[in-house]
A = this chain, B = another copy of it.
């Protein structure tokens, strides 16, 4: 049923329900556990290979399925469907079917989806602001690792 076997999150064995909790206060580990778990779970949706990309593209307006497929470049039909389903499930994306022939399906950001862009953009700007530092750190780390490998 549904879509093959693996689904980004949909169809997960109904464990891992979201619990309430406080934001990560960086103080009490217990607080961090309860709050961060929740945050992590949503973050992993945002952090997956395609989600933000699609959210950012939909930010400029609604798109049809194959339109998205062309725009995203490299995404398989499977992953596009799966990603859109999960975004829809979380209430970030609205799916609208127009039962014409051929059928027409539009995907648009919900208000919630739009509001997500604010913190995601902030994170995006942090990345862009620090990408050079990160790249340099990686290079130095990898070099030092190779040094050790050469020596033994």
Residue positions of A touching B, CB distance < 8 A: 1, 18, 20-24, 26-27, 29, 32-33, 35-40, 42-49, 52-53, 56-57, 59-60, 71, 73, 88-91, 112, 115-128, 130-131, 133-138, 141-142, 149
Q: Is the CB of B26 within 8 A of A135?
A: no
Asked, given contacts A47-B40, A138-B89, whether A23 binds B121 with beta carbons under 8 Å apart, the answer is yes
Contacts of A46 in B (CB 8 A): 43, 47, 123
Contacts of A137 in B (CB 8 A): 89-91, 112
Oligomeric state, in number of copies? 2
Report which of B27, B36, B126 forms a contact with A53, defined as CB distance below 8 A. B36
Q: Is the CB of B131 within 8 A of A20?
A: yes
Q: How far is the CA of A142 from the CA of B88 in the complex (A)?
A: 11
Q: Is the CB of A43 within 8 A of B123?
A: yes
Q: Is the CB of B89 within 8 A of A124?
A: no
